[in-house]
Amino acid sequence: MSARENPAAAAAPVPRPPSDTARLCIHTITTRPWPLEDAVRHYAEAGVAGITVWRDALEGREPAAARRMIRDAGLTVVSLCRGGFFPGKDARSRNQAVEENQRIIEEAERLGAPLLVLVCGAVPGLPLAESRKQIREGIEAILPHAAAAGVRLAVEPLHPMYADSRSAINTLRQANDLTAAIGSPVVGVAVDVYHLWWDSDLEPEIRRCAGMRRLFAFHICDWRSPTNDLLYDRGLMGEGCIPIREIRGWMEAAGFDGFNEVEVFSTRRWSQDQGSYLTEIVQAYLSAS
Amino acid sequence: MSARENPAAAAAPVPRPPSDTARLCIHTITTRPWPLEDAVRHYAEAGVAGITVWRDALEGREPAAARRMIRDAGLTVVSLCRGGFFPGKDARSRNQAVEENQRIIEEAERLGAPLLVLVCGAVPGLPLAESRKQIREGIEAILPHAAAAGVRLAVEPLHPMYADSRSAINTLRQANDLTAAIGSPVVGVAVDVYHLWWDSDLEPEIRRCAGMRRLFAFHICDWRSPTNDLLYDRGLMGEGCIPIREIRGWMEAAGFDGFNEVEVFSTRRWSQDQGSYLTEIVQAYLSAS
């Protein structure tokens, strides 16, 4: 059944582990206890090349100053996380979401982030088809703003276990359909192995996304067995069952040459010493991704 | 986007709530604190028409005696839950799974259950494509046994959040592909709204399944927001965001006229008085499913 589901899988060889950290990016949320300044310093010391900044890490800081600090440390800003959450039960809340996303785009521009990741949103009880329509309308409403700011937008399909309240876009196929319908080079997709690893259409949809030139970002972590929390029990690469390296092979065979972004939400990891955790992250990256 | 995704949705009207309990079935796991004898007596008193028996409820009982008790109470045995878990890392464990499923089929036959529900299985680290191949081989191995016993088999696609360790069959499309490949009238599908509600292909795949005459069972419950546990925090109909009635409409429009089976795993509900809970179940069934 493997070959039929996935005709290119046999052809694309699973790549070797990364030989260095030149494409390693870490999301600030991964080391949440660290203030942005500590994260930047420690990432740079560990040889990490890129940083994706979560908005909570910017709180109380001027984005342009954060931009200089990150540049001075020798790191590249890969993206800002996150905008989105477009659906709402009334026009007022949907308009507020558009305005909030316009502010976030300005923040991304000042931070020097070339990409804003979108968690598209869902509202319990709102039909998913209606949420998807509102998501498209929301993205189209902020599109001129993003284009003018030079900030691209990445739709991140979320795992179906978040379809109730976080995103009505739950497969790469849906994200590809959405970006194809919008039809702008500004709007592409972020592939996160945690959300998509289970999908037997993942490899052909990665190729389709790349064929549309919409493959904008690649997030990695692992799925622990058992997983004890729907949100905050992600694993470090190698701690779970996701075929990370195989999926990275599909990305690279499709032409993706961007960063491999480590994005781990884990109360367990946040409670440990973040310095030794960072060492483990780099080791896991080099051995299991 | 709704109409394009789902061309028949607009045409199939959402049905009225059930007017009576003639098609109401309850899974014994829903009222887990009750021994089988109590469940049967209380279900019958509440006007419940069918019962799906979980194997833990049979422990220490002779299935044929349970069959008589259920029949004498006026209830119909809808199915036995559950067989499956076919994949394994070596041939020995896969053979053991086949033998175990043969014993479960005999149990279903003695219980008078016309249907055995299959949670197909997955093993952390085993590639999903390999698990799917092993699932097909496992079902084909027990098929003659099931046919001889007069017990049909229902593949239950499980939510993608169970793809690590419970089932590599995670969408109705995959279940339909699997049953189509097996090609036996003995092997069909159980549709559970909890596992499948998020899938934008659900309605056309229900029609496809019905067209193959493989629509064997329908399980209902609800998805709570937030959901606090991956396994044991299901909601009663109306407590969550699943469009249960719309999905029932799709089932009925496709020709399904079997039981509506209430299957709720909830530590919260198991800790309350099961008699008043049963009253709530019947009310929720009549008002929100």
Q: Which of B1, B130, B198 sits opposite A163 (nearest CB)?
A: B198
Tell me the pLDDT tens digit for each residue of A136-150: 999 999 999 999 999
Q: Which of B128, B227, B240 sits opposite A198 (nearest CB)?
A: B128
pLDDT of residue B13: 83
- Give the closest-approach CA distance of B179 to chain A in angstroms: 13
CA distance B182 to A148: 55
CA distance B148 to A163: 42
Q: Looking at chain B, which runs of residues are DSSP E strands? A: 24-27, 50-54, 76-84, 115-119, 152-155, 187-192, 215-220, 260-262
The residues that bridge with A25 in the sheet, in sequence order, are: A50, A261
B225–A230 C-beta distance less than 8 A: no
Tell me the pLDDT tens digit for each residue of A6-55: 444 455 789 999 999 999 999 999 999 999 999 999 999 999 999 999 99
Q: Which residue in A200, A224, A228, A229 has the most chain B C-beta atoms within 10 A of its own C-beta, making it the best mutation to test that interface? A: A200
The structure's pTM equals 0.95
Tell me the pLDDT tens digit for each residue of A241-262: 999 999 999 999 999 999 999 9
Q: What is the pLDDT confidence band of residue B152, given thresholds at 50, 70 and 90?
A: very high
Q: What is the pLDDT confidence band of residue A107, given thresholds at 50, 70 and 90?
A: very high
Structure tokens at A193: 């192995």
- Give the closest-approach CA distance of A228 to chain B in angstroms: 7
CA distance B45 to B26: 13
Tell me the pLDDT tens digit for each residue of B266-277: 999 999 999 999
Q: Does B199 touch chain A (CB under 8 A)?
A: yes
pLDDT of residue A244: 98
B164–A161 C-beta distance less than 8 A: no
Closest CA to A260 of A233, A225, A231, A286: A286
- A contacts of B164 (beta carbons < 8 Å): 223, 225, 227, 240-241
pLDDT of residue A11: 58
Q: Which residue of B has its CA nearest to A160?
A: B198
Q: Does B100 touch chain A (CB under 8 A)?
A: no
B129–A5 C-beta distance less than 8 A: yes
Q: Does A140 touch chain B (CB under 8 A)?
A: no
A241–B164 C-beta distance less than 8 A: yes
Contact B139, B101 (CB under 8 A): no
A-B C-beta contacts closer than 8 Å: 91
SS3 B260: strand
The residues that bridge with B188 in the sheet, in sequence order, are: B154
CA distance A209 to B211: 32
A-contacting residues in B 248-267 (Cβ below 8 Å) = none
Q: Which of B160, B181, B227 sits opposite A230 (nearest CB)?
A: B227
Q: Which long-range contacts (CB under 8 A, 24 or more apart) does A128-131 make?
A: A128/A163, A128/A168, A128/B198, A128/B200, A129/B1, A129/B2, A129/B5, A129/B6, A129/B9, A129/B200, A130/A87, A130/B2, A131/A87, A131/A168
- Give the closest-approach CA distance of A43 to chain B in angstroms: 30
CB neighbours of residue B141 within 10 Å? 17
Residue A4 has pLDDT above 80, yes or no: no
Residue B155 has pLDDT above 90, yes or no: yes
Phi, psi (deg, nearest 5) at residue A164: -75, -40
- Give the closest-approach CA distance of B164 to chain A in angstroms: 7
- B contacts of A9 (beta carbons < 8 Å): 129
Q: What is the mean pLDDT of residues B42-51?
A: 98
- Give the closest-approach CA distance of A2 to chain B in angstroms: 5
- B contacts of A194 (beta carbons < 8 Å): none
CB neighbours of residue A216 within 10 Å? 24
The residues that bridge with B233 in the sheet, in sequence order, are: B266
B1–A128 C-beta distance less than 8 A: no
Tell me the pLDDT tens digit for each residue of B213-261: 999 999 999 999 999 999 999 999 999 999 999 999 999 999 999 999 9
Closest CA to B82 of B163, B151, B145, B182: B151
B198–A160 C-beta distance less than 8 A: yes
SS3 readout for B71-92: HHCCCEEEEEEEEECCCCCCHH
Q: Which residue of B has its CA nearest to A181?
A: B1
- B contacts of A199 (beta carbons < 8 Å): 160
Q: Which long-range contacts (CB under 8 A, 24 or more apart) does B62-69 make?
A: B62/B110, B63/B107, B63/B110, B63/B111, B64/B110, B64/B111, B66/B36, B66/B111, B67/B110, B67/B111, B67/B112, B69/B36, B69/B37, B69/B40
Q: Does B195 touch chain A (CB under 8 A)?
A: no
Burial bucket for residue A62 (CB in 10 Å: 0-12, 13-18, 19+):
exposed
Q: Does A138 touch chain B (CB under 8 A)?
A: no
CB neighbours of residue A184 within 10 Å? 16
pLDDT of residue B11: 58
Tell me the pLDDT tens digit for each residue of B103-127: 999 999 999 999 999 999 999 999 9
A127–B2 C-beta distance less than 8 A: yes
- Helix residue ranges per DSSP H, A215-273: 244-253, 267-270
pLDDT of residue A5: 46
Taking the C-alpha atoms of B258, B229, A201 and A172 in order, what is their torsion angle to the nearest 10 degrees?
120
Q: Widest CA span of chain B, in angstroms?
A: 53
Residue A100 has pLDDT above 50, yes or no: yes
Q: Which residue of A has its CA nearest to B171?
A: A199
Q: Which of B129, B228, B241 sits opposite A125 (nearest CB)?
A: B241
Write down the mean pLDDT value for chain B. 96
CA distance B166 to B195: 12
Closest CA to A245 of A289, A283, A198, A195: A289
The residues that bridge with A239 in the sheet, in sequence order, are: none
- B contacts of A160 (beta carbons < 8 Å): 159-161, 198-199
Q: Does B200 touch chain A (CB under 8 A)?
A: yes
pLDDT of residue B1: 37
Q: Which of B125, B163, B230 sits opposite A198 (nearest CB)?
A: B163
Q: What is the pLDDT confidence band of residue A199, given thresholds at 50, 70 and 90?
A: very high
The ipTM of this complex is 0.95
Q: What is the mean pLDDT of residues A157-181?
A: 98
Write down the mean pLDDT value for chain A. 96
- HSE-CB of A176 using CA atoms within 13 angstroms: 18
Q: Does B223 touch chain A (CB under 8 A)?
A: yes
CA distance B85 to B94: 9
Closest CA to A126 of B243, B115, B59: B243
What's the one-letter identity of residue A264? V
Strands B24-27 and A50-54: unpaired
**In chain B, % of residues over pLDDT 70:** 96
Q: What is the pLDDT confidence band of residue A208, given thresholds at 50, 70 and 90?
A: very high
The residues that bridge with B187 in the sheet, in sequence order, are: B153
A124–B225 C-beta distance less than 8 A: yes
Cα dihedral A269, A270, A273, A277 sign = positive
pLDDT of residue B4: 42
Strands B215-220 and A152-155: unpaired
Closest CA to A27 of A190, A206, A229: A190
